[in-house]
Amino acid sequence: MCGIAGIVDFKGSPPEEPVLHRMLGLIAHRGPDAFGIYRDDLCGLAHARLSIIDLAGGDQPIHNEDRTLWIVYNGEVFNYPELRADLVARGHRFYTNTDTEILVHLYEDKGPELFSDLNGQFALAIWDSVKRELLLGRDRLGVRPLFYHLGNGRLTFGSEVKAIFADERIPRSLDMETLSDIFTCWAPLGSSTAFQGIHQLPAGHFATFSTRGLQVQRYWQVPFGAPSPSRFRLDEAIEDLSALLLDAVRIRLRADVPVGAYLSGGLDSTTVTAMVKRNFNNQLRTFSVSFTDGRFDEAPFQQQAVEALQTEHRSIRCTEENIGECFPDVVWHAEVPTLRTAPAPLFRLSRLVRENDFKVVLTGEGSDELFAGYDIFKEDRVRRFWARRPDSTARPQLLRRLYPDIFSGAEGSRTGAFLVNFFRRGLSRVDSPVYSHQIRWDNTSQLKSFFSSPHRERLTRLPPLEDRYTAALPPDYMRWDPLSRAQYTEISIFLTNYLLSTQGDRMAMAHAVEGRFPFLDHRVVEFACSLPPLYRLHGLKDKFILRRSANGLIPAELSQRPKQPYRAPISTCFLQGDDYARHLLSSPAVKDAGIFDPLRVSSLAEKCHRQDGRLTSERENMALVGILSTQLLHDQFVNRFPHKPVQPLHNLKVYAQ
């Protein structure tokens, strides 16, 4: 895994080498092993390398035989040995043993159609010096990031936004429409980012940039609704899933460095770890994070998994103070506001991995989205069942199955009634394309009341988020079954633009650690999407087929345990010695940034301190983290960019045409 950046300018001067140096210095954490630059009269490419395959010979940029094509590339193509053998048979000659070089030769043969051959996670840029055209591409699910700015015939791109801002001509300001979306559905929509004028290439898309301009095109989308076999026998489907997942694990172990695994003690990571341990690597190193706050801690389950699988395990224990201390670094690397502190423990976990001399880990990310592991899918099913008889008093009692703790105890009657009324809202809107998520979005959107009055007024004139989201849906979306529609929404917004980004790539690559995701192998994704909904969510039993496939592979206590959502402490993290939080939430700092209402923010902050950080509602906790992370983002990227020194470059190679 690496960091890439570059500039193509058709109307100005050749890309300046000092700017390319600065771009690399700002993303050197992604690839500290070597640095490379290519320049000609139109194009400049820059690469920061994290060496994982072909350690001695894989420095980038890499070129084809006659040096007319140059590539910078962030990621892995896991089926590269098979692709290489085919290319060699067709007469292509290689000078490295990398997966990177595969891509320039595939481009020679197929042009932008090369993406259909790739099984991997990547962001790439290929400069064709003959055609004078740049190709940008991103993997199917958006595991690896790619951002760009376009203006006056000049395209600037990078693995992180901070690389783009290395060019001081590019203005830096926050985008209020995107902030509004984040304060509604937790993540940006589509190609938007938290910054005006900065876009991300969407997952499953490529783009070409030439004198004709920038053209963006989709090459893959999550294939719900595609024709599937007329009959699926459950035992055959379980066997097929196990075989696909095992092969996805196998090819993700391809590396010239050791590969470890995250082990949370849940179904997903334990299944992946068990497959590695029992089939490929008996000396597997595993890593986990635990919490001093028992409400979030999964350490007992992690220990049970370690004992069952006999892995060599390392764990880090995370306190509320730890989260508060590293939160500014979390925002600097995430480059987007967050409503949760959950990325912070993963930031510390990746540091633990790197301190143990590992660069690569497998994780279980993606399983919940593919196999309906979240409560939001069950809520959607219960509400649709209830909506058929909205006056029923029995049907809403199914919510007890989802949240037994809320209905139990002395307060159970009162809180249970509140929960029923909460889920009753919009009950009859079953024809809405976002029925599954609307109630959550409506609830979270109340956080926007903290925006300043001018921004609140301006946002009322924008098209509603629901309209903007549904305008980009597949044409046959409403013909899909309701569960598939809910899963698609979760994948396209939350998975791609939050879990794989803010909690995934950005927290791992902050310490030069590459995460690999077997569940997001496109063959596994396509298989899961083709399954009957009953195999994904059986009644209210989540991950039905995956749990069945795990029988005999991992202990039943782990394969059948209810999902414990990954969460971390919130407002209590910002009370002990976190002067930055007090300063950024103060009225002068809030007024200076101009995003939020100083009086409302002061009231929230005072309540947090008065109650020793234990705010009374989840919404207040999310508001506090959202406001603080936005204030940090404004301070780091608008007021004081770069607020950290640009790293010096070692082992730098410069190529010129």
CATH number assigned to the domain comprising residue 85: 3.60.20.10
Whether residues 43 and 145 fall in one domain: yes
Whether residues 29 and 157 fall in one domain: yes
CATH of the domain at 323: 3.40.50.620
Q: Which residue has the tokens 């801002």?
A: 165
Domain boundary among 438, 459, 485: 485
Looking at the domain assignment, is residue 622 inside a domain?
yes
Whether residues 306 and 410 fall in one domain: no
Closest Cα to residue 434, out of 479, 397, 360, 486? 486
Sign of CA dihedral 365, 368, 219, 529: positive
Measured CA to CA, the distance from residue 203 to residue 191 in angstroms comes to: 9
Q: Which residue has the tokens 């989540």?
A: 542
**505 with 144: CB under 8 angstroms?**
yes
**47 with 3: CB under 8 angstroms?**
yes
Measured CA to CA, the distance from residue 550 to residue 242 in angstroms comes to: 8
What are the CA-CA distances from residue 267 to residues 305, 353, 538 (Å)? Answer: 10, 21, 17
**568 with 263: CB under 8 angstroms?**
no
The domain of 417 spans 375-485
Sequence-distant (6+) residues with CB within 8 A of 266 are: 298, 301, 364, 558, 561, 563, 564
Measured CA to CA, the distance from residue 66 to residue 13 in angstroms comes to: 25
Q: Which two tokens stand for residue 25?
A: 């210095």
Looking at the domain assignment, is residue 647 inside a domain?
no
Helix (H, G, I), strand (E, B) or coil at 326: helix
- Which H, E and C letters describe 571-583, residue by residue? HHHHCCCCHHHHH
Whether residues 25 and 10 fall in one domain: yes
Strands, sheet with 154-158, edge to edge from the N-terminal-most edge strand: 199-200, 147-151, 154-158, 2-9, 43-49, 34-39, 652-656
Looking at the domain assignment, is residue 226 inside a domain?
no
Whether residues 68 and 198 fall in one domain: yes
Sign of CA dihedral 122, 123, 126, 131: positive
Centre a 10 Å sphere on the Cβ of residue 169 and count the other Cβ atoms it contains: 11
Q: What is the pLDDT of residue 573?
A: 86
DSSP element (H, E) containing 8: strand 2-9
**DSSP-assigned states of every residue in 404-418:** HHHHSSTTHHHHHHH
Q: What is the pLDDT of residue 546?
A: 97
pTM confidence score: 0.96
The domain tally of the chain equals 4
Residue 448, class by beta-carbon neighbours within 10 Å (0-12 exposed, 13-18 middle, 19+ buried)?
Answer: middle
* Amino acid present at 429: R
Q: Is the peptide bond before 61 cis (omega within 30 degrees of 0)?
A: yes
Domain boundary among 521, 539, 559: 559
Whether residues 620 and 531 fall in one domain: no
**345 with 244: CB under 8 angstroms?**
no
* Amino acid present at 420: V
Sign of CA dihedral 398, 403, 405, 409: negative
Q: What is the pLDDT of residue 609?
A: 80
- DSSP-assigned letter for residue 260: E
Separate counts of helices (H) and strands (E) for the chain: 28, 20
Whether residues 119 and 13 fall in one domain: yes
Measured CA to CA, the distance from residue 249 to residue 117 in angstroms comes to: 18
Looking at the domain assignment, is residue 657 inside a domain?
no
Task: Encode pLDDT of 93-104 as tens digits.
Answer: 999 999 999 999
Sequence-distant (6+) residues with CB within 8 A of 464 are: none
Whether residues 26 and 102 fall in one domain: yes
Q: What is the pLDDT of residue 572?
A: 80
Looking at the domain assignment, is residue 131 inside a domain?
yes
Looking at the domain assignment, is residue 182 inside a domain?
no
Q: Which two tokens stand for residue 22?
A: 């600065």
Q: What is the pLDDT of residue 410?
A: 45
Looking at the domain assignment, is residue 540 inside a domain?
yes
Q: E-assigned strands of 211-246?
A: 213-218
Q: Which residues pair with 151 in a beta bridge?
A: 154
Whether residues 27 and 141 fall in one domain: yes
Centre a 10 Å sphere on the Cβ of residue 333 and count the other Cβ atoms it contains: 23
Looking at the domain assignment, is residue 271 inside a domain?
yes
**549 with 238: CB under 8 angstroms?**
yes
Which regions in the chain score pLDDT beneath 50?
A: 410
Residue 66: CA atoms inside 13 Å, Cβ hemisphere, count? Answer: 5
Whether residues 480 and 496 fall in one domain: no
**322 with 348: CB under 8 angstroms?**
yes
Whether residues 210 and 65 fall in one domain: yes
Domain boundary among 485, 513, 542: 485
Q: Measured in Å, how far apart are the chain's first and last C-alpha atoms? A: 26
Q: Which two tokens stand for residue 649?
A: 């470059």
Whether residues 15 and 42 fall in one domain: yes
